[in-house]
Amino acid sequence: MALEIGFLLFPDIQQLDLAGPFDVLAAVPETRLHLAAKTEQPVASSSGLTLTPTVSCVAAPQFDILCIPGGRGVNPLLQDEETLAFVAGQAAGARYVTSVCTGALVLGAAGLLHGKRATTHWTALDLLSAYGATPVKARAVQDGNLITGGGVTAGIDFGLALAAELAGQEVAEAIQLGLEYAPAPPFDAGSPDTASAETVASVLRRTGKVREARERLAAAYAAKRED
């Protein structure tokens, strides 16, 4: 029987958050992948690429694996009760509850990170504590049936780790080889620890407004959790 794997799709999603693990998990034997959104109308990613849902959230089957990608479009979801109820409902019956990048904030807003170790994009890592999680700086973090991936390209690492859980290391390694996933970037700027101070400052300036909004939303959740 095929494993049902569902990815949440929403406007302004970071396309690579979705595409990386999608390609990995699509290569796992006996899986069926879904792109679930509020409606089946196409949505635009943050880079403008049009993505088409395969099922509406209302009509979605129970997923064995739920995955929430990230992106700037995450912010509206953090107070979207309909979406958060869908995520929490799916998580209750899922074998694995997962996220990539800032999709972890959606899991948090749905009440799924309390007491858990988790990771996300470096610009949002500290915000996880507002959702009751212990932030961990890593490419992929597993805590029970919760698996969270770091920023964007870490979705491939997360996908391979999950593939090994589902089908064994040999299968996961064959998928990695098939994708020729052997990162050798031209610059050592893929982490705030190795990028220049100027590069880090540039990214923080560019993402400042999104970060400010996330801070307010995280603080509001934390205050509600303490009431």
Q: Are 120 and 69 in contact (CB under 8 A)?
A: no
pLDDT interval class at 224 (50, 70, 90): confident
| Catalytic residue positions, numbered | 101
- The mean pLDDT value for 53-80 works out to 98
CATH number for the domain that contains residue 165: 3.40.50.880
- The mean pLDDT value for 13-40 works out to 98
Nearest CA to 190 out of 143, 165, 156, 144 is that of: 156
Residues contacting residue 127 through CB under 8 Å, at least 6 positions apart: 105, 120, 214, 215, 218
Q: Are 219 and 130 in contact (CB under 8 A)?
A: yes
- The mean pLDDT value for 24-52 works out to 98
pTM over 0.75: yes
Strand positions, DSSP E, the chain: 3-8, 31-37, 43-44, 50-51, 55-56, 65-68, 96-100, 117-118, 134-135, 140-143, 146-149
- Look at residue 188 in the predicted model and tell me its pLDDT: 95
* Coil/strand/helix, residue 141: strand
Q: What is the DSSP letter of 169?
A: H
pLDDT interval class at 202 (50, 70, 90): very high
Residue whose tokens read 């990170």: 113
pLDDT averaged over the chain?
Answer: 97
Q: Are 133 and 116 in contact (CB under 8 A)?
A: yes
pLDDT interval class at 225 (50, 70, 90): confident
- Burial class from Cβ neighbours inside 10 Å (0-12, 13-18, 19+) for residue 144 reads exposed
pLDDT at 126 over 80: yes
pLDDT interval class at 1 (50, 70, 90): confident
- Domain, as residue range, for 153: 3-226
pLDDT interval class at 226 (50, 70, 90): confident
What is the spatial distance between Cα 222 and Cα 227, in angstroms, rounded to a whole number? 9
Check the CA dihedral 1-144-80-24 and report its sign: negative
Residues contacting residue 19 through CB under 8 Å, at least 6 positions apart: none
Domains of the chain: total:
1
Residue whose tokens read 């999950």: 162
